[in-house]
Amino acid sequence: MNLDISQISASLQPAVYTHDLGKCYQLYAQPKDRLKQFLWRGRRRYYRELWALQKINLEIMPGEVIGIIGRNGSGKSTLLQLICGTLTPTCGKVEVNGHLAALLELGAGFNPDFTGRENIWLNAAILGLTQEEIADRIEYIIDFSEIRDFIDQPVKTYSSGMYVRLAFSVAISIDPDILIIDEALSVGDGSFARKSFNRIMQLKERGKTILFCSHSLFQIESMCSRALWINQGQLMAEGDVKHVVSAYQTFLDRSVLATSEQATAPCEDVMPADTPSAGGYVSGHARLDKVDVEIEGKSSRDAIVKSGQSTVRVKVSFVSDPAIPCPTVAVTLHAMDGRMLTSAATWEDQVTLERTPNGAGQISAVFECLPLLKGEYLISVYLLCEQGIHLYDSASGVSTLRVQQEGRLQGYFAVPHIWRIDDGK
């Protein structure tokens, strides 16, 4: 057997390695301060420093799928951009071993006056493809983007959806060893979002290294083996995804800013922009049709609920393309400050939804004798892919539950328990 030592050592090299990596921005209160700074040549300081990232030490091995979490402005995008080389570090170093493709600002490299086809050539060359490789792949890129009819028009005439489709198709076509994704797991709209998500999942299955940041902890937990939590530019935790997500969730719960940061559930509303079929669904997609909340059999958006007594039923109707696997449904309960208190999901309970040949289906989540304690709570509903990862559609705050309670117990939930008189044994 011939062992190629150089190949073995290459495979043991981290795909991404950073040492004491840091990025500092100079913030000027007014534009003229920049000029003054230039004229004084560093003898006086007219700016304030902002360390977007500090002392980041990472070793990401080939094939790892790493999720990056943190509040807005914590430094996630800065880290991804430093790894991609679109930002220069202020200190420390970053090493990348392998062909890297980034889905950061999609289409940032497009020239608006060039046609879609010309931009493919330009963009793919920037991403490292040779002329021959581009020639080989251009038809695939155009097909994947589904905008063949417009491919010879200048991209400035494109809708934002078309722009994103083209940019994603080019980025994904380079077959990278390392894929960097900044909040772009659901690219574009409708069926394209699912298709792009499937493409990313294929790369994961083929053992590619993937780094992505998302506000959806749910998506991070579903896809990643390891997670990094960044706060105010510092690495707060890294390691097993469940531990890191849980530590971050605890931090969010403790934070007075939790309200503004609660995009932790499957988040953004994703409404299909494609043309619906006669059955009301969009090709390759699914959407919520109707969500109704019933308290003791009566429909209500703003209901009085008796703690430990009332039954709450969340009725969800959806339509989906019958050609895609049947979707899954999740229901979450939030406190009014946005914190998610609990959730229920069909895939976790091994419940399979049913639908008509037209792709329409209904399911109810029934919460009997709801054990919430006094207070106000919000219900949200999510429609996801069969694996419970890709979000098709969501409806936030579909109903407010005003829970009334006898007695003085404090907290959010009554947890089943018993009291035992301790006889000292």
Cα distance between residue 168 and residue 174, in whole Å:
11
The residue whose two tokens read 């990278």 is 176
Nearer to ligand ATP, 74 or 169 (CB): 74
Q: Which is nearer to ligand ATP, 70 or 266 (CB)?
A: 70
Can you list the positions of beta strands (E) in 91-201?
91-96, 100-103, 178-182
Which residue's CB is nearer to ligand ATP, number 191 or number 216? 216
Complete edge-to-edge strand list for the sheet that includes strand 16-28: 47-60, 16-28, 91-96
Buried b or exposed e, range 103-118, using 16+ CB within 10 angstroms? bbebbebbeeebbbbb
- Of 50 and 304, the one with the shorter C-beta distance to ligand ATP is 50
CA distance readout (Å), 388 to 288, 292, 347, 409:
15, 21, 7, 35
Q: Which residues of this protein are in contact with ligand ATP, per CB under 6 A?
A: 25, 27, 50, 52, 70, 72-78
DSSP state of 351: P
Nearer to ligand ATP by Cβ, of 75 and 272: the residue is: 75
Pick between residue 73 and residue 128 the one whose CB is nearest to ligand ATP.
Answer: 73
CA of residue 334 relative to chain centroid, distance:
19
* 3-class DSSP assignment, residue 206: coil
Residue number, 50 or 409, with CB nearest to ligand ATP: 50
Closest CA to 106 of 8, 56, 181, 21: 181
Cα separation, 30 vs 408, in Å, equals 55
CB nearer ligand ATP, residue 177 or residue 238: 238
C-alpha–C-alpha distance, residues 295 and 107, integer Å: 48
* Closest distance of CB 79 from ligand ATP, Å: 7
Q: Write down the least CB distance from residue 215 to ligand ATP, Å.
A: 7
State the minimum distance, in angstroms, from the CB of residue 27 to ligand ATP.
6
- Please state the closest distance from residue 87 (CB atom) to ligand ATP, in A: 8
The least CB distance from residue 247 to ligand ATP, in Å, is: 17
Residue 233 CB, nearest distance to ligand ATP (Å)?
A: 7
Report in angstroms how near the CB of residue 230 gets to ligand ATP at its nearest. Answer: 7
Q: Distance (Å, rounded) from C-alpha 102 to C-alpha 182?
A: 8
**Please, what is the minimum distance in Å from the beta carbon of residue 71 to ligand ATP?**
7
Structure tokens of 42?
A: 């560093």
